[in-house]
Amino acid sequence: MKKLTFTKILLILPLVFGLIGCKKDKPRDPLDRPEPFTIKRELTGRERYEVINKTLENRTRVTSIEAYASIRQVDHASKDEFTISGTSTSKFYLNYGVKNELKFEINEKSGNGIEYPTQEIALNGTQAWKDGLL
């Protein structure tokens, strides 16, 4: 009987570990501070020069920029709160083409606890070049 139970446990274990492995990670807030890293050393002047040069060369290969921002202000005396948060996406294409999408919202709450209506603002832009006209 004991042997049977042990065998059952052995059979179930891979399934349990498999499920743990498949467990979805909580999506990371893009505004969370990046994971800590360990500095190995500071670059020499010559190495810096090489890194900067090669990095600047890569400007022409940027295909997209996703940006996230959030600002929260609290008045020290009145406790009025003001929050602005949003995201922007820029996608870059050949011939100076770009599609920009910016979305942000503004929230205000007074020190008395009054929450003012949220303002949602979206700005989209497309710029494309064709046959001499931009």
* Residues forming the site for other proteins (CB under 8 A): 30-31, 33-34, 37-43, 47-48, 51-52, 54-76, 90, 92-100, 114-118, 126, 128-130, 132-134
CB of 21 to other proteins, least distance (A): 23
Distances (CA, A) of 15 to 7, 8, 9, 11: 14, 11, 10, 8
CB of 26 to other proteins, least distance (A): 17
Query: Nearer Cβ to other proteins, position 8 or 48?
Result: 48
CB of 27 to other proteins, least distance (A): 14
CB of 119 to other proteins, least distance (A): 9
Query: Nearer Cβ to other proteins, position 16 or 121?
Result: 121
Which tokens is 7 given? Answer: 């065998």
Buried residues in 61-72 as b, exposed as e (16+ CB within 10 A): eeeeeeeeeeee
Query: Nearer Cβ to other proteins, position 2 or 46?
Result: 46
Tracing tokens 């009054």 back to the chain, one arrives at 114
Q: 60: buried, middle or exposed (CB in 10 Å: 19+, 13-18, 0-12)?
A: exposed
Query: Nearer Cβ to other proteins, position 11 or 39?
Result: 39
CA atoms within 13 A on the CB side of 26: 2
